[in-house]
Chain A
Amino acid sequence: MSAPTQNQSPDSQHTASDNTTHFGYKTIDKDDKVSMVAGVFHSVAKQYDVMNDLMSFGVHRLWKRFTIDASGVRPGNDVLDLAGGTGDLTAKFSQLVGKEGNVVLADINSSMLNVGRDKLRDKGLVQNINYVQANAQYLPFEDNTFDIVTIAFGLRNVTDKDMALRSIYRVLKPGGRLLVLEFSKPEHELLNKAYDFYSFNILPKMGELVAKDGDSYQYLAESIRMHPDQETLKTMMDNAGFEQTSYKNLTGGVVALHKGYKF
């Protein structure tokens, strides 16, 4: 499998009137994306953590720690961990906000949410965590509710990213911040080529071997390539109303952490 050809455009280039979006390299109806992405995550939910460790050689834990450190979270804060999946960020936030704080683990996918809930309960984290099945485009929370919203490795699966960013902006309190941790575009060409080889030749085979689902990991590699690059995502955040937006490349740009404030 090769990288996308030039006539394939990132999701961000679809207009509001355009009723199509991408599912990996496939162009599909917007209405179909939610169920197709759901299919992927229902399939991989139980092996999600193992696969994350295998695929990233454990580095995803450091990327998530970096996100926590950049969040500036304090005791008593209200945090929304959007597309929180199996709850890695929620677990840490729950300990850092303390009893006075509150963390909401939200995910559109019930299988991921169930795996996350079981994992956090097994760790004894029950006091200050709520679980909500929610679509990032239509967040079921009041305006100005959260001090921090994070979305780690989730934004690229959202059908309408601009709408999701506006929805996040709405639920953030003034002074609150959004942190988007997502795969991005490697800074160096050599790394880009090695990353492409790894993503399209090794990753699906690992998925086949461990999660018995090579197709889902093929989708993962394709969806990463179709996700907006660092500067495009920054512009999208600016357009959604965020201020002082910035990003930091991690592991040579394989992953980027975007940050923006609502004032």
Chain B
Amino acid sequence: MLQQALTSSLELLINKALSLNISALNINLVDLTKLQQKTLTIVLSELSFPISFSVDSNRILVSGLTERANCTINTSIKTLQKLKAEQQITELIKQGKLDLSGDIKVAQQFASLAENLNIDWQSELANHIGDVPTHKLVQLSKKVADKFQFAAKQIKADASEYIVHEKRLVVTRSQVEHFNHQVNEVSRQVDDISTRIANLSKQISNQ
């Protein structure tokens, strides 16, 4: 039921964002009217199930229903981030990063809706917990984000150092195989000598 948990959470988040944007007049209700009962289905290569977005009144319904899709997009999460800009759709199709079937206008209208979603999370949070805690929380988030960015930069630098310099010093697979072969050869020679010594000892004792 991962699909249902995901669609349920997405629906909650999207509609919260939508209602805030409608109040702030970022979203034109005419845009929503054009999409009434229209459905966009997205199939992501990273997920094993589809996600459908349908408009009903001033709400977006998120479900796993594929039967009602006016437009279906097959893509990846990475490409999906670029989809927010409406004009990118054609370019992404040309690049083969996006497979689209059905009414392209529906995809464009949903992309336009997503583009206009703009939320001032800071002022929204302040409405709930107050200005000072929000300020402190934002400062803390920035510090944590900076630390993560620094760590990411460091990991990236270490990784490139490893790839450029240290990887050259690392023993290759063929070298390991050659070494193993030589060890086997020495082992075989030792066995031969042992056998020979045993034979010679036997001959001496017989004399």
Contact = CB atoms under 8 A, between A and B. Distances in A.
Given A69-B3, A96-B54, A74 B61 contact: no
Given A62-B5, A96-B61, A72 B67 contact: yes
Kindly state the interface size class of chain B when it binds its partner.
Answer: 10 to 19
Given A62-B1, A65-B7, A96 B56 contact: yes
Contact of B1 (A72, A96, A99, A250): A250
A66 B56 contact: no
Interface string A39-66: 0000000000000000000010111011
Contacts of B68: 73-75, 96
Interface residues of A, number: 21
A165 B175 CA distance: 72
Interface in B1-21: 1, 3-5, 7-8
Main secondary structure on B side of the interface with A: mixed
A98 B8 contact: no
Interface string A59-102: 10111011011011111000000000000000010011011000
Contacts of B134: none
Contacts of A251: 1
Contact of B65 (A73, A98, A99): A73
A74 B66 CA distance: 10
Contact of A95 (B1, B5, B7, B61): B61
Contacts of B57: 95, 124
Contact of A98 (B1, B4, B56): B56
Instruction: Give me the 7 closest cross-chain CB pairs, A-B, nearest first.
Output: A69-B64, A65-B4, A95-B56, A62-B4, A98-B37, A72-B67, A62-B1
Interface of A: 59, 61-63, 65-66, 68-69, 71-75, 92, 95-96, 98-99, 124, 250-251
20 contacts: A61-B8, A62-B4, A65-B7, A65-B8, A65-B64, A66-B4, A68-B65, A69-B7, A69-B63, A73-B65, A74-B67, A95-B54, A95-B56, A95-B59, A95-B61, A96-B61, A98-B37, A99-B37, A124-B57, A251-B1
